[in-house]
Amino acid sequence: MPREARLTALSESVRACRKCEHLAAFRTQTVFGIGNPQADLMFVGEAPGADEDKQGEPFVGRAGELLTKIINAMGLTRDDVYIANVLKCRPDMPKGAPGNRPPTPLEMQRCLPYLREQIAIIQPRALVALGKTAMAGLTGTDESMSAMRGRWFTFENIPLLATYHPSYLLRNGSNSEKRKVWEDMLLVMEKLGMPVSEKQRGFFRSAS
């Protein structure tokens, strides 16, 4: 069966999922994933936020705009990669409460089989975990992001790199922090055999 058809069938299973009744009751819709089923590169976040819950697509808010800029700076588009989250439902919040909460370990454990199957269908050559929570969902590690970023791990025999979540850069947008994320993307590009220009190597290099 073609990858597109397999992903469609899996998304239907996700849409009907009620493993976490509190999440199923709270969500507007599930947020499965988007992008190229043949992608060499797959980005994994932690969970949908309010914008994603409304639109049914991962990374569509301010953090998503920044992720798109990062992907474009690599010489790619969102159509070239695949983007998904560990959790397919927005974590529930008290009525009227602002913001989003991170998923719990149990919620991620229940939802991880769907992500595993997505990865098995797409067969990317590299994975990027966006943030500490996504990395914890994939590997169970509780290391700090500063200790993990810039290092290669593996998930299901696929190279896995951890980097800061785009929302972290929105909160702490110094050039030095942006440079760290960009250095991670350079590692990904080199791992995939992508050409890297001198201009790309120099992004944020003057950071202090």
Give the pLDDT confidence score for residue 206 in this predicted structure.
63
CATH number at residue 52: 3.40.470.10
Residues 67, 166 contacting (CB under 8 angstroms): yes
Q: What distances in angstroms separate CA 200 from CA 38, 168, 180, 184, 189, one per listed residue?
A: 25, 22, 13, 12, 11
Range of the domain at 78: 3-201
Greatest Cα pair distance in the chain: 51
Q: Cα separation of 136 and 75, whole Å?
A: 29
In a domain, 208, yes or no: no
Give the pLDDT confidence score for residue 204 in this predicted structure.
81
Rounded average pLDDT over 34-58: 97
pTM score, whole prediction: 0.96
Lowest-pLDDT range, 21-35, 36-50, 192-206? 192-206
Q: Cα separation of 31 and 59, whole Å?
A: 10
> Which SS3 state, helix, strand or coil, does residue 174 take?
coil
Give the pLDDT confidence score for residue 147 in this predicted structure.
94
What CA dihedral angle connects 51, 28, 18 and 130, to 10 degrees?
0
In a domain, 53, yes or no: yes
In a domain, 207, yes or no: no
In a domain, 61, yes or no: yes
Beta bridge partners of 143: none
Give pLDDT tens digits for 143-172. 999 999 999 999 999 999 999 999 999 998
In a domain, 165, yes or no: yes
Q: Using alpha carbons only, how large is the chain's radius of gyration in Å?
A: 17
In a domain, 36, yes or no: yes
Give buried/exposed letters for 103-133 (b at 16+ CB in 10 A, else e): beeebbebbeebbebbbebbebebbbbbbbb
Beta bridge partners of 136: none
Lowest-pLDDT range, 42-46, 93-97, 107-111? 93-97
In a domain, 183, yes or no: yes
Count of the separate structural domains present in the chain: 1
Share of the chain above pLDDT 70, in %: 99
Give the pLDDT confidence score for residue 208 in this predicted structure.
43
Query: Tokens in use for 47?
Result: 């969970």
> Which SS3 state, helix, strand or coil, does residue 160 take?
strand
Beta-sheet pairing, 82-85 with 41-45: parallel
In a domain, 206, yes or no: no
Q: What distances in angstroms separate CA 14 from CA 55, 123, 183, one per listed residue?
A: 16, 19, 34
**DSSP character for 201?**
H
Beta-sheet pairing, 158-163 with 126-130: parallel
